[in-house]
Structure 1
Amino acid sequence: MFELVSKWYKNKFSDPNSVTLLFIVLGLAISLYIFGPFILPVLVALVIAYLLEWPVAKIENVIKSRVLATSFIILLFSGVLLTMALGLIPVLWQQLSNLLQEAPVMLEEGKDFLLHLPDQYPTLISSEQVKALVATTESKILEAGQVILSFSLTSIKDIVAWMIYLILVPLLVFFMLKDKEVLTKSMSVLVPKDRRLIQQVWHEMDHQIMNYIRGKVLEIFIIGTSTFVAFWVLDLRYAALLGALVGFSVLIPFVGAALVTIPVAAVAMFQFGLDTQFWTILIVYGIIQALDGNVLVPLLFSEAVDLNPVFIIVAVLFFGGLWGFWGVFFAIPMASLVKALFNAWSDSWKPQTQN
């Protein structure tokens, strides 16, 4: 057994480039795991910098000034965010407060609907099963309410930190974009000389991460806007809030769409009952999800690494458990990074295995 492991190690890690890549990956993983919460503003700024790099590069080609191009794009991006904050957030907050006020009535109607199911379908479900389901649902709702309340109370102390982030993050984004080449050269000095595989993985992932972030933001905007328009045309209440939920649900592959179906169906049932309008809304929602998965995603992420859905779901669970929202957001790039690392190591091992 020991000889087998020793032979495997010599075959796989006799190349200095492989060892360098391994230590770099382990060092970054440990650093992110330990210091991730403390460098969150840097990670957020890095995401925004990746998002804005493409328009900055396009503007720079026209005006031949990186500083002016960065300043223009930062001001434009800040203006768009400010406009959305002043115009969209108050509407979403109002609809959310109205929905929370009506939630008890919706829950009671749902409870009455479930309790009458045994009368309509006595062969499919019994009253004892319905009562057990209602009791379990009520306990879960109470637990969720307690979690939300405790989160809201503990998050009050983070308001000052978020105010600081609102100042630090734009500054970080500005200097990351303006001094991109200087920062890249500075980081390259810290990397050992045996970095052929590091450069291979970096070149493979740099373009993919940029395309992923830009594509994911476009997907959120397109799906959220189209869902809002569809629900507004169908006269569904809380159309803006539900459209925003559906838009952000694309951050969680496969699972997000299924989870958001619950509030969409609940609001539609509360407003229209099991009428034709209810089924129309669900059909339209299903069409939007189908177009997203079969048309929009292939167009926006045509250059993404082909990953099996099992690997994507495992990546969402693993990295989401490690880093929460940002782990879910970067689950696909991180899974692609893991695949790129294995491909790089495999390429470095092939010549040795052939000799």
Structure 2
Amino acid sequence: MTTITQQLSVVKRANPFLLFLLLFFGALYLGSSFLIPLAIAVLISLALVSVSQWLEQNGLNRGLSSFLAVLLVFLFFVGVFSLVTYQISSLADNWEQTKQQVTKTLENIKSYLDQSGISTQWMSERLDKISESSSADVKNMVSATFTTLGKFFLILIYTYLLLYYRDKFKRFIQKLTPKNATRETNEVITQVSKIARAYISGKFLLIIILAVLYGVGFIVIGIKYALVIAVIAGVLSIIPYFGNIIGGGLALLFALITSSSLNSVIGVAIVMTIAQLLENYVLTPLIVGKKVDLNPFFTIIVVVLGGAVWGIPGTVVAVPYLGILRILFDHTNSLKPYAYLMGDNSDDDSSSIESAKEWIEEKVS
């Protein structure tokens, strides 16, 4: 009887938590059209705080410094958008020639698969769709990108307002906490701002460097539309783990269907491999480092969960927000174990390794 009572007690305690999770993720999903631009704007504004502060220290007022900081972001995205649009428009103008090359490549692959005894029904369906397509389809894809401009400008407006009223938001958070916790509250605000600024600015710099590396490599190889492939692959790297895989796969696929030479595909694979090695072992440790301090297990979980709820934007913002959540947990006594569980405690591992090395050296000597 006691055991049944204890089990019912556990179920009763778990029900509110499960209900909270259901309502939380349901609200995120249903309110995505409103929350996604706001969530992105919060991260961008945190990354631009230092820029706005520097401009204010040089004599500009809050409104003008916030406007110029947002203008930098606007010019960056306009440059990327213009480059991609120009390349895609060129692809649309030469679509008939490109379509013939794609069809020829897929037919060769289909022939090889038929000889190997592998089903090619899916390949046949793709060939039929390609033969029915036209340059108008590609141009429609270009025009469809303009539908995102509304949300883009909304993000810029949110970012400007968050920068302009940042002191008010900071005082609001301070008023929510007890007076004896003001010092710790300020420390949390500083850490949250620092982690968002370091992660977002570091990722943007990585995107630029990777896009340049990809672009130079693809141009040397002689890949058609090298710049647009390089930019897309570079932008996709903002998605942890999966972005590089998707970007590399798209680059290889594009090289395969637009080039008649296998050397081009091998060249793309070599460029992607070299760039990824540089990113993983040189660029990321130097530029981003351990800014969010999350272990890979929780990073992958939150990226998959963010993608399931918000799609691609969810995969982008999930990691920095989880890093912010870990900071909040770390400053709450009852939640510190969860912060430890989410963190990348490599320091503990390295200290254990060092202790083991010292023990072995002592025994050997």
Query: Which residue of structure 1 lines up, in the alignment, with residue 157 of structure 2?
Result: 171
Output aligned runs, 1:127-276, within 5 Å. 127-129=116-118, 132=119, 134-139=120-125, 159=147, 164-165=150-151, 168-189=154-175, 191=176, 193=178, 199=185, 202-269=189-256, 270-275=258-263
Aligned length: 320
Q: Which runs of 5+ in 1 are unaligned?
A: 11-22, 119-125, 351-355
TM-score (norm 2): 0.70
Query: Which residue of structure 1 lines up, in the alignment, with residue 352 of structure 2?
Result: none
Query: Which residue of structure 1 lines up, in the alignment, with residue 321 of structure 2?
Result: 334
The amino acid of 2:87's aligned partner reads L
Q: CA RMSD in A?
A: 4.3
Query: Which residue of structure 1 lines up, in the alignment, with residue 32 of structure 2?
Result: 36
Q: Which runs of 5+ in 2 are unaligned?
A: 14-18, 338-365
**Does structure 2 retain, via aligned residues, the 8 Å contact 1:315–1:334?**
no
**Does structure 1 retain, via aligned residues, the 8 Å contact 2:214–2:230?**
yes
The amino acid of 2:219's aligned partner reads W
Aligned partners of 1:212, 1:113: CA distance in 2, in Å? 42
Q: Tell me how far 1:77 sits from its aligned partner.
A: 4.0
Alpha-carbon distance change, 268 to 58 in structure 1, aligned in 2, over 3 angstroms: same
Give the SS at the match of 1:280. Answer: helix
**Does structure 1 retain, via aligned residues, the 8 Å contact 2:84–2:228?**
no
Q: Tell me how far 1:45 sits from its aligned partner.
A: 2.8
Alpha-carbon distance change, 195 to 307 in structure 1, aligned in 2, over 3 angstroms: farther
Give the SS at the match of 2:259. Answer: helix
Alpha-carbon distance change, 128 to 56 in structure 1, aligned in 2, over 3 angstroms: same
**Does structure 2 retain, via aligned residues, the 8 Å contact 1:252–1:328?**
yes
**Does structure 1 retain, via aligned residues, the 8 Å contact 2:202–2:288?**
yes
**Does structure 1 retain, via aligned residues, the 8 Å contact 2:195–2:324?**
no
Task: Describe the superposition over 1:284-310 as per-residue Cα deviations: whole angstroms up to 9, x where unpaired.
Answer: 221011111221111222242333333
2:92 aligned with 1:97? yes
**Alignment counterpart, residue 110 of structure 1, candidates 101, 106, 118:** 106
Q: Tell me how far 1:195 sits from its aligned partner.
A: 10
Q: Tell me how far 1:110 sits from its aligned partner.
A: 3.0
Query: Which residue of structure 2 lines up, in the alignment, with residue 323 of structure 1?
Result: 310
**Does structure 2 retain, via aligned residues, the 8 Å contact 1:63–1:69?**
no
Query: Which residue of structure 2 lines up, in the alignment, with residue 61 of structure 1?
Result: 57
Percent identity, aligned pairs only, is 21
Query: Which residue of structure 2 lines up, in the alignment, with residue 122 of structure 1?
Result: none
Instruction: Between 92-101 and 286-295, report the one with greater CA deviation.
Output: 92-101
Q: Tell me how far 1:227 sits from its aligned partner.
A: 0.8
Aligned partners of 2:76, 2:328: CA distance in 1, in Å? 37
Task: Describe the superposition over 1:166-198 as per-residue Cα deviations: whole angstroms up to 9, x where unpaired.
Answer: 654433322221221013223544x36499599
Task: Describe the superposition over 1:98-129 as per-residue Cα deviations: whole angstroms up to 9, x where unpaired.
Answer: 686424632442332352367xxxxxxx6322
Alpha-carbon distance change, 76 to 242 in structure 1, aligned in 2, over 3 angstroms: closer
The amino acid of 1:68's aligned partner reads L
Instruction: Between 90-99 and 173-182, report the one with greater CA deviation.
Output: 90-99
Alpha-carbon distance change, 305 to 171 in structure 1, aligned in 2, over 3 angstroms: closer
**Does structure 2 retain, via aligned residues, the 8 Å contact 1:91–1:240?**
no
2:276 aligned with 1:289? yes
**Does structure 1 retain, via aligned residues, the 8 Å contact 2:306–2:318?**
yes
The amino acid of 2:215's aligned partner reads F
